[in-house]
A and B are shown apart, each in its own frame.
Chain A
Amino acid sequence: MGPTLTIASQKRAYTLSDRGTFLATKNLDSKILVQGGQPLQNPYHVIVVKHSGTNVGCAQAFSRWITSAPTQRVIASFGKRQYGQALFHPDAGAQ
């Protein structure tokens, strides 16, 4: 995603990007034209696969940990200090 943003910026072109890469890529002249709203949501899911040979116990532990309130708070503040705004918005359990 970084090279795409750099090339789009140098060629004065439009592109579609996630906010995290946009904030982390340096020397961009690009401006955000459209952001937010349902069509641009890009949720990350955690799914426990129950199948022979998979480590269901560990997967469930990871799932519980990533959706727990303390971890969600870490996600909400991740990147704030470095980039001035959050890179991700936690929504575990939200409907």
Chain B
Amino acid sequence: MSAPPGAALVWELVGRTATVSLSATAIAMLIGVPAGTALGLLRFRGRRAAATAVNTGMALPTVVVGLVVALVLFRSGPLGSLDLIYTVRGMIIAQVLIAAPLITGITIAAIQALPEELPDQLRALGANRRQLVTRLWLEARLPLLAAVMAGFGHAVSEVGAVTMVGGNIHGQTQVLTTAIVEDVGKGDFRPALVYGAVLLALAFAVNAVLTSVQQRGAAWARS
């Protein structure tokens, strides 16, 4: 067994992993929560098909996302001139596509789980569209935070897309999951174990923050 990885390298990987997955989750939230609210609330033709597509997206294999994003970002691809292949920004794009369907899908369920008459009551009380949506999001904040946690969990734990789009370049696009795969491939289990423990700790820290927000909301709701 080799020496454990240096603290500087571990922090570098933690920083890049957090940057990529938190940015992707934030962008996916900005897309997914409004989209899921619209799909849960509005009645329009094709709504059911759209919801089915979103729910299929929740089961999207991350390697398929990686394949498609790599094809698009390759120099020969439609967005090749943007120089995004093998960059952190490219990895964020891939993880947005992984997290957004999850956040959208759970948001649809969260909005539809609210009392059916609530939107009409709010409108009757004179709420405009913005006030209505804000109130619904406050009512559904527990499952909405669960949606964000699920999105982050899926993004931070995936390895297929960040490998294909990021390339696992040391010092540039390597993250904790791709470092684990590389080290195990070399038969070097010790640093892989360290990265695995650190990845768990990162996921725990992020979810602890989100859970504390969620449960504070829950206590307030009951009081």
Contacts and interface: CB of A to CB of B under 8 A. Distances in A.
A47 to B, nearest CB: 23
A10 B169 contact: no
B167 A29 contact: no
Nearest to A11: B86
B223 interface: no
A39 interface: no
Contacts of B167: 3, 6-7
A27 B86 contact: no
A4 B85 CA distance: 14
B128 interface: no
B76 A7 contact: no
Given A7-B86, A10-B85, A27 B74 contact: yes
| 9 closest cross-chain pairs (CB), A and B | A7-B167, A10-B85, A10-B75, A7-B86, A10-B86, A11-B86, A10-B74, A7-B169, A29-B75
A29 B80 CA distance: 13
Interface of A: 3, 6-7, 9-11, 27, 29
15 contacts: A3-B167, A3-B168, A6-B167, A7-B86, A7-B167, A7-B169, A9-B75, A10-B74, A10-B75, A10-B85, A10-B86, A11-B86, A27-B74, A27-B76, A29-B75
Contacts of A3: 167-168
A6 B167 CA distance: 9
A39 to B, nearest CB: 26
Nearest to B167: A7
Interface of B: 74-76, 85-86, 167-169
Contacts of B75: 9-10, 29
B64 to A, nearest CB: 19
Contacts of A29: 75
A8 to B, nearest CB: 10
Nearest to B163: A3
A27 B74 CA distance: 10
Given A3-B167, A9-B75, 13 more contacts: A3-B168, A6-B167, A7-B86, A7-B167, A7-B169, A10-B74, A10-B75, A10-B85, A10-B86, A11-B86, A27-B74, A27-B76, A29-B75
Contacts of B168: 3
A9 B80 CA distance: 12
Contacts of A6: 167
Nearest to B168: A3
Contacts of A27: 74, 76
A92 B67 CA distance: 43
A11 B173 CA distance: 13
A1 to B, nearest CB: 14
A6 B86 CA distance: 10
A27 B76 CA distance: 9
A27 B75 CA distance: 10
